[in-house]
Amino acid sequence: MDPHEKLYWPFAIPPVQTQTEEQKSQLRFLEAAHQQGYAPYMERVGHFGAASGTRGVQILVRGRKHWQVLMGTAKETILSAHLDNFRTAAEAVLGWLRGADAAEIVEQIRDHLVVTRATGCGFLLHQPAAATRST
């Protein structure tokens, strides 16, 4: 078994009565991304991803109540952020795929950043001229 094997939506899911709130949130992301043509997938180990044109996103599981979102292109990562719930992560990445500005996304997710010594201020925003890390 390859834990990083990608399962592209749609795929078989547990019965609704056994789904947790987080799983329902994940399903909403997969359905919304699929409807918009972003080819969403879930890796067997639990990470998610999708792409739209030149933009790509990943939602990486980093523990209980900790998800890391990555937004960028094949050339560079534009925004990396650590968030405390999947729903906010999903909204952020869907916004990026629809064409939203990364700085605007940061403002939308600020209240849900995971701020620790390891994550710094919780996000890293790459500006075209130089990388910016707020402190």
Partner 1 sequence: MQIVEGRLIGGESYRDFVLPGRSVPEVFSARLLNGSTTLEITWTASLGQGTLVNRLALVQKLAGGPGSFTRITGQASAEFRDVIQALDLDEAGQALGKGLGGKWGVALRPRPNSIPSTWDLVATRIGD
Interface with partner 1 (CB under 8 A): 1-4, 7, 11-14, 19, 23, 26-27, 42, 44-47, 49, 51, 55-58, 60-66, 68, 70-74, 76-78, 80, 114, 116-118, 124
Across-strand partners of 9? none
The distance from CA 108 to its chain's CA centroid, rounded to whole angstroms, is 14
Nearer to partner 1, 49 or 91 (CB): 49
Shortest distance in whole angstroms from residue 119 CB to partner 1: 9
**What single string gives the DSSP state of each residue in 16-74?**
GGG--HHHHHHHHHHHHHHHTT---EEETTS-EEEEETTEEEEEEE-STT-EEEEEE-S
Q: Which amino acid is at 82?
A: H
Nearer to partner 1, 3 or 107 (CB): 3
Nearer to partner 1, 110 or 133 (CB): 133
Nearer to partner 1, 70 or 89 (CB): 70
Shortest distance in whole angstroms from residue 46 CB to partner 1: 5
Shortest distance in whole angstroms from residue 19 CB to partner 1: 7
Cβ 97 vs Cβ 57: under 8 Å: yes
* Cβ partners under 8 Å of residue 40, min gap 6: 8, 9, 29, 30, 33, 34, 48, 49, 50
Shortest distance in whole angstroms from residue 11 CB to partner 1: 6
